[in-house]
Amino acid sequence: MEHTIIDKFFIVVKGKWKGKGVDSTIVNVYGPHTDTNKQKLWLSLESLVGKHDTGWVLCGDFNKVHDSSERQNCDFIKRRANWFNNFINKTKLIDVPMGGKRFTRICNNGIKFSKLDRFLISEKFSDIWNELLVLALERKLSNHYPIILRDTAIDFGPIPTKVFDEWFDLEGADDLIS
């Protein structure tokens, strides 16, 4: 495993997934607050992702949202969201859906909420782990909810009951269902 600090706003870890044998790169991101530094971050990450054909995972606090639905009682600046969305589109990264909570950051005594923390993955990584979900856990020490990336492929064993389409054609099926 190779650890490399690339920039003051992110750390890169390269290696192979145990049991998968596939080259992967994880980037832990802490998004800057100023517009100039945000644009530098997007350009640096875009260049990095474009140079290497690997399974990418970018995670952390991006300090940015996609659209106004990812904020509550906070300022939303469309221009900044467009920069973030353009970065994701250019790198062809996928924002892994989140369960557990709607927002990842809370402030001002529970008045303001934002979804700043996330996992962005490449298609190559998605091909290996195709049933991923981000879970927001309980918040204890920080104003951010910790998030984890989880493979949701769970085998619960055989299905206990089966329904056949023909059953819906039987007389009285509609009454039974309603």
Could you tell me the residue ranges of all domains in the chain? Answer: 2-177
Q: What is the dotted CATH code of the domain comprising 2-177?
A: 3.60.10.10
Residue-by-residue DSSP string for 29-65: EE--SSHHHHHHHHHHHHHHHHH--SEEEEEEE-S--
Confidence category of residue 161, pLDDT binned at 50, 70, 90: low
C-alpha distances in angstroms, 81 versus 39, 48, 87, 89, 116? 11, 21, 10, 12, 11
pTM: 0.79
Residue matched to tokens 């920069």:
83
Lowest mean pLDDT among 44-58, 64-78, 86-100, 146-160: 146-160
109-129 pLDDT per residue, tens = 788 989 889 999 999 888 888
CA Rg, the chain, in Å? Answer: 21
Buried b (16+ CB within 10 A) or exposed e, 146-177: ebebbeeeeeeeeeeeeeeeeeeeeeeeeeee
**Sheet containing 105-107, strands listed edge to edge, beginning at the edge strand earlier in sequence:** 71-72, 112-114, 105-107
Confidence category of residue 85, pLDDT binned at 50, 70, 90: very high
DSSP, collapsed to helix, strand or coil, labels residue 111 as coil
Instruction: Calculate the average pLDDT of the chain.
Output: 84
Q: Which two tokens stand for residue 81?
A: 């969201």
* pLDDT for residue 83: 92
Is 26's pLDDT higher than 70? yes
